[in-house]
């Protein structure tokens, strides 16, 4: 969908952290946002972010409608200077509320489209890309129902702002939920595929599952969630040349616990742990146990500096073959934007390692990116900027050395408003 310098599968680690930094970059660093309402439960991995325009004061007995539409361009210089298509993103949302019944209906979506760099070419939507997300959600008197489709991979990483678990997912989900005081009970059905951008070091897994989630939110305490899910999964090993291995189908049951805590304007943390037991459809005695842990911490240091470290660990064990697979991902994002200085700087770094006990897979990737942006509003139109970005990507495949690669990139971009 867009041209990148270096292999796309060698960029997974830093891009895992970029979802958090986008939220920081779009809000003034150091701003003291309010603590989330005690009853605002953490969104599931599929509930989208709905942009809304400020409400207009009207008769409270009548439904009130707010809408928003925004056209986002990429912040990654590698996308901006692409020689072929320049990808952009239209975000839209519409919300209708009716206070007498405490009812709310929201629709939202994100549509990527390609803007050719050739001036004589008409701008239009690429019909092969499809929407990044489309969804609808309704609430009335504590009852909630919704549905959403998403298809977001690393190729849209710098365009779509969302938490990391939303980035590498493709598929749909429908759900219903009921709030009861401090508790919330939720039932959902979904079909999701991960590894959208086909990292050859990792399998591609499609899960068709039904789940029940219980959540509790006590004022001034962390929000806790526990989810039990059951369903079928299809696992396919990928190769650098694009071929897919033989699909392995299995049934699974999983238990996931997660917590979110807002520590005030200075920090917030999200953590989760999951255990999954799966059974091969053709070989019921062949069971696989998977454990995973994820941790994301947002630190707003000083008035202008923010840091977002992330860590993810996954271990998989097969009872039949005694095969073990370990994957670890670590990332760190730093963003610095001094007030009233006209410039900002950001750094992204990440490392990913995947290996199996039989040595059939042994791969790791390292990525570093740094950017500096300066506003030229005092000399040129107000939104004019100059940006400098450099990056290094290194992918090592011990089993298939011919797949290893390294790439160095550097860009300078002058943007003048109105051009």
Number of domains observed in the structure of the chain: 1
| pLDDT (0 to 100) of residue 240 | 63
Task: Using CA atoms of 41, 42, 44, 45 in order, give the dihedral in degrees to the nearest 10.
Answer: 170
Query: How far lies 45's CA from each of 150, 165, 174, 208, 386, in Å?
Result: 10, 6, 12, 15, 36
| pLDDT (0 to 100) of residue 60 | 64
Whether 205 and 232 have beta carbons less than 8 Å apart is answered as no
Q: Which residues contact 275 (CB under 8 A, 6 or more apart)?
A: 254, 255, 256, 289, 290, 291
In a domain? residue 317: yes
| pLDDT (0 to 100) of residue 248 | 84
| pLDDT (0 to 100) of residue 123 | 42
In a domain? residue 106: no
In a domain? residue 323: yes
What number of CA atoms fall less than 13 Å from residue 366's CA on the CB side?
Answer: 5
CA quadruple 313, 319, 320, 321: dihedral positive or negative?
positive
Range of the domain at 358: 9-46+126-415
In a domain? residue 120: no
Print pLDDT tens along the chain (419 aa).
333 333 333 333 332 232 332 232 333 333 334 444 333 333 343 444 333 444 444 566 778 889 999 887 665 555 555 545 566 778 899 999 987 778 899 999 988 877 654 444 444 444 445 778 899 999 998 899 999 998 876 556 556 655 555 667 789 999 999 999 899 999 999 998 887 767 776 788 898 999 999 999 998 899 999 999 999 999 888 776 666 778 888 899 999 999 999 988 889 999 999 999 988 887 777 788 999 999 999 999 888 899 999 999 999 998 877 889 999 999 999 999 887 778 889 999 999 999 999 988 899 999 999 999 888 877 777 778 888 989 999 999 998 898 899 999 898 888 776 54
In a domain? residue 56: no
CA quadruple 78, 80, 86, 92: dihedral positive or negative?
positive
d(CA 324, CA 291): 11
Long-range contacts of 278-281 (CB under 8 A, 24+ apart): 278/233, 278/250, 278/251, 278/252, 278/253, 279/250, 279/251, 279/252, 280/248, 280/249, 280/250, 280/320, 281/232, 281/249, 281/250, 281/251
Whether 178 and 188 have beta carbons less than 8 Å apart is answered as no
CATH code, domain with 311: 2.40.160
In a domain? residue 334: yes
| pLDDT (0 to 100) of residue 413 | 82
- Classify each residue of 347-373 as buried b or exposed e, where b means 16 or more C-beta atoms within 10 Å of its C-beta: bbbbbbbbbbeeeebebbbbbbbebeb
In a domain? residue 384: yes
In a domain? residue 111: no
What number of CA atoms fall less than 13 Å from residue 212's CA on the CB side?
Answer: 1
């Amino acid at each position: 969908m867009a041209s990148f310098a270096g292999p796309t599968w060698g960029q997974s680690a830093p891009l895992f952290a970029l979802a958090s930094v986008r939220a920081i970059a779009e809000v003034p660093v150091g701003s003291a946002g309010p603590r989330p309402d005690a009853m605002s439960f953490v969104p599931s991995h599929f509930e989208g972010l709905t942009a809304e325009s400020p409400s207009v004061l009207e008769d409270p007995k009548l439904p009130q409608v707010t809408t928003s539409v925004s056209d986002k361009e990429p912040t990654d210089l590698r996308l901006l200077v692409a020689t072929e298509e320049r990808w952009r993103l239209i975000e839209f949302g519409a919300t209708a509320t009716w206070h007498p019944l405490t009812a709310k209906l929201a629709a939202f979506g994100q549509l990527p489209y390609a803007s050719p760099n050739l001036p004589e070419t008409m701008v239009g939507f690429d019909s092969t890309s499809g929407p990044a997300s489309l969804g609808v959600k309704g609430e009335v008197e504590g009852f909630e129902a919704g549905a959403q489709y998403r298809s977001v991979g690393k190729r849209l990483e710098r365009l779509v702002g969302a938490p990391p678990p939303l980035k590498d997912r493709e598929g749909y989900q429908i759900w219903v939920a009921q709030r009861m005081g401090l508790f919330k009970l939720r039932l959902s059905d979904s079909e999701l595929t991960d590894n959208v951008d086909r990292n050859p070091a990792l399998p591609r897994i499609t899960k068709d599952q039904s789940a029940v989630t219980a959540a509790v939110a006590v004022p001034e305490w962390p929000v806790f969630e526990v989810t039990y899910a059951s369903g079928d999964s299809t696992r396919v090993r990928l190769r650098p040349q694009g071929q897919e291995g033989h699909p392995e189908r299995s049934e699974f049951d999983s238990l996931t616990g997660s917590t979110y805590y807002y520590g005030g304007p200075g920090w917030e943390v999200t953590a989760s742990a999951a255990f999954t037991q799966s059974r091969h459809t053709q070989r019921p005695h062949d069971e696989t146990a998977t454990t995973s842990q994820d941790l994301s911490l947002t630190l707003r240091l000083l008035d202008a500096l923010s840091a977002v470290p992330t860590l993810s660990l996954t271990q998989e064990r097969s009872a039949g073959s005694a095969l073990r697979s370990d994957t670890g991902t670590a990332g760190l994002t730093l963003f610095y934007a001094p007030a009233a200085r006209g410039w900002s700087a950001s750094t992204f770094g990440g490392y990913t390692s995947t290996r199996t006990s039989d040595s059939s897979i042994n791969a790791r990737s390292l990525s570093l990116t740094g950017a500096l942006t300066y506003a030229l509003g005092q000399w040129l139109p107000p939104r004019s900027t100059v940006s400098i970005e450099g990056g290094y990507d290194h992918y090592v495949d011990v089993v298939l050395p011919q797949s290893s690669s390294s790439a160095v990139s550097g860009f300078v971009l002058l943007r003048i408003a109105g051009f």
